Structure 1
Amino acid sequence: MICLYLHIPFCRERCPYCDFFLVTRPGFVERFFEALAVETAAKAALFAGQSIKAIHFGGGTPSLVPPSFIDGWLSQISGIARISAETEITLEANPEDLLPASLDALQSVGVNRLSIGVQSFADRKLRALGRAHSAADARRVVLEALERFPSVSIDLMCGAEGEMLAEWEGDLRAALDLCPQHISIYMLTLEEKTRLWRDVRKGLRDLPGEEAQAAMYRMAAELLGNAGYGHYEISNFALEGHHSRYNLASWMREPYLGFGPAAHSFLVDGDAETRFSNVSSLTRYLTDPVGAVDFREVLTEAQRFDEEVFLSLRIRKPLSVGFLRKGHKLGHQHLDDILVTLQEKGWIGVKKGTVTLTEEGFLFADHVAAELLSE
């Protein structure tokens, strides 16, 4: 089985905190899908005849695109590989794009999971984040989506300018009142060269500190956990049976194939594991969608070890101590000392020869990974 990812790079405008590859030129949509058809045909041999586990439309803002284009690409895919009733087909969307007619259209072309960029249910916070929709828009859209799709995910963001713990609790409780099947929690981070990064450097904006964000994260884990949402990945919580199959497959290092500018791929051929990505340029992609790859590497043994450590920690997949000893280059005693220290801090649990992150350890996953990597 394989997963597919399509990066649709179009947005109305760039959010001040966003550093994803996107363009604000929706007039290029038709040309983009023409180029996409060429790229898809060229890559057909890489997934022909396989069962498709999940298809993820990311971006950018895929909900900006007329559903007929989504339908056309899915039809092309179904002529190459096997899409079944079990295939998860997720589309990322913004509330301002989702009228009842557009929701009906997305459902009719085969989308069965909607991921909605709510970010907040508070108008003050939405303005601070530079979002185009209102809190009322968000509530309406989530309710209408839940009537049409078997699985709905919403994104919430903590750490906006001026945000206090009580406001964040309001977001969480508003989400729980709506009962979506999946909730993603993101801590606002300053990405270099974004508008928000420049404003903070100039002293024009002031964001909550790390301790405040950590308190928000802990509150989310507690409230969502008590409501029955399983914390299956650092940022993701789901009711039973509603985890993101595409994202979980990526973290489990299962094969996936990316299409569109800036899309990444990971393929396995025997013992060889290859990662590659397309150019982060719409112009270059439209000019040569087949030759759009700008990065490719076959992973070394050390890289494979490091990926296994880093990605397993994100989903609390148990890591064998024996596996860690085999890949860690600083000696068994040094590794054992590291494990003792991390366990004393309450960041990991060691049980029956395996290591997993604790709930508190999710906050320090990058630090734990750095201690356990091969170098």
Structure 2
Amino acid sequence: MICLYVHIPFCRERCPYCDFFLVTKAGFVERFFEALAVETASKTSLFAGRSIKAIHFGGGTPSLVSPSFIGAWLLQISGLAQISSETEITLEANPEDLSPASLDALKAVGVNRLSIGVQSIADRKLRALGRAHSAADARRVVSEALERFRSVSVDLMCGAEGETLAEWEGDLGSSLGLRPQHVSVYMLTLEEKTRLWRDVRKGLRRLPGEEAQAAMYRMATELLCGAGYRHYEISNFALEGHHSRYNLASWMREPYLGFGPAAHSFLLSGETEMRFSNASSLTKYLADPAGAVDFRETLTGEQRFDEEVFLSLRIRKPLSVGFLRKGHKLGHRHLDSVLVTLQEKGWIGVESGEVTLTEAGFLFADLVAAELLSE
């Protein structure tokens, strides 16, 4: 089985905190999908005849384009590979793009899971984040989506300017009241060269500190897990059976194939593992969609070990101590010392020769990985 990812790079405008590859040239949408069809045909040998586990339309803002374009590409894929009723087909969306008619149209072309960029259900916070929709829009759209799709995910962001723990608790409560099947929680981070990054550097804006953000993350974990959601990845919570199949497959290092500018791919061929990506340029992509790949590498044993450790920690997949011993660069004694230290901090558990992150350790997953991969 294989997963497919499509990067649809169009947005109305760039959010102050966003550093994803995107363009605000909506007039290129039709040309983009023509190029996408060419790229897809050129990569047919990589997925032809295979069962498609999941398809993810990301961006950018995929909900900005007409559902007819989404449907046409899905039709092309269905003629080349096996899409079944069990294939997860997710589309990322913003509330301001979704009406009852557009939701119906998306469902009609085959989308069965929506990932809605709500970010907050509080008007003050939405203004602080530079979002175009209101809290009322968010509630309406999520409710209407839940009536139509078998699985709906909402994105929430904590750490906005002026945000308090009480405000975040209210945001979580409002979201839980809607009862989506999946919730993603992201801490607002300063990405270099973004508008928010520049404003903070100039002293024009100030974000909550690390301790405040950590408290918000812990609150999210407590409230969501208490409401029946499973914390299956650092930022993701799901009701039983509603985890993101595409994202989980990526973290499990299962093969996926990307289409569109800036899209990444990971493929397996026997014992060989390859990663490649398309150029982050719409101009280059439109000029030569069949030759869009501008980076390609075959992973070394060391890279494979590092990825296995880093990604396993994200999803609390057990790592055997034996596996860590084989790949650790400073020897068994150093590894044993690291494991003891991490246990004393309460970040990992070690049982029956297997290492897993604790709930508290999720907040420090990158630090734990750095210790386990220390040179």
TM-score of the superposition, structure 1-length normalised? 1.00
Partner AA of 1:64 in structure 2: L
Question: How far has the Cα of 1:206 moved from its partner?
Answer: 0.2
Q: Deviations over 1:31-52 (max 9, x none)?
A: 0000000000000000000000
Q: Deviations over 1:261-319 (max 9, x none)?
A: 00000000000000000000000000001111111000000000000000000000000
1:1-375 matches, within 5 Å, as 1-373=1-373, 375=375
Is the CA contact (8 Å cut-off) linking 1:302 and 1:374 kept in structure 2?
no
Partner AA of 2:116 in structure 1: I
Partner AA of 1:78 in structure 2: S
Q: For 1:298 and 1:352, locate their aligned partners in 2 and report how far apart those are by CA, in whole Å.
A: 34
Mind listing any 5+ residue stretches in structure 1 that lack a counterpart? none
Question: How far has the Cα of 1:350 moved from its partner?
Answer: 0.5
Question: How far has the Cα of 1:72 moved from its partner?
Answer: 0.4
Question: How far has the Cα of 1:374 moved from its partner?
Answer: 6.2
Question: How far has the Cα of 1:373 moved from its partner?
Answer: 1.5
- State the secondary structure of the residue aligned to 1:186: strand
Is the CA contact (8 Å cut-off) linking 1:262 and 1:280 kept in structure 2?
yes
Q: For 2:193 and 2:265, locate their aligned partners in 1 and report how far apart those are by CA, in whole Å.
A: 26
- State the secondary structure of the residue aligned to 1:290: helix
Q: For 1:4 and 1:311, locate their aligned partners in 2 and report how far apart those are by CA, in whole Å.
A: 19
Partner AA of 1:97 in structure 2: D
Partner AA of 2:99 in structure 1: L
Q: Deviations over 1:204-231 (max 9, x none)?
A: 0000000000000000000000000000
Q: Deviations over 1:317-359 (max 9, x none)?
A: 0000000000001000000000000000000000000000001
Percentage of matched positions with identical amino acids: 86
Q: Deviations over 1:143-173 (max 9, x none)?
A: 0000000000000000000000000000100
TM-score of the superposition, structure 2-length normalised? 1.00
Q: For 1:356 and 1:61, locate their aligned partners in 2 and report how far apart those are by CA, in whole Å.
A: 35
Runs of 4+ in 1 over 2 A off after TM superposition: none
- State the secondary structure of the residue aligned to 1:13: coil
Q: For 1:204 and 1:349, locate their aligned partners in 2 and report how far apart those are by CA, in whole Å.
A: 43
- State the secondary structure of the residue aligned to 2:203: coil
Is the CA contact (8 Å cut-off) linking 1:327 and 1:374 kept in structure 2?
no
User: How many matched pairs?
Assistant: 375
RMSD between aligned residues: 0.5
Q: For 2:60 and 2:67, locate their aligned partners in 1 and report how far apart those are by CA, in whole Å.
A: 15
Partner AA of 1:187 in structure 2: M
Partner AA of 2:326 in structure 1: K
Question: How far has the Cα of 1:186 moved from its partner?
Answer: 0.2
Partner AA of 1:37 in structure 2: A
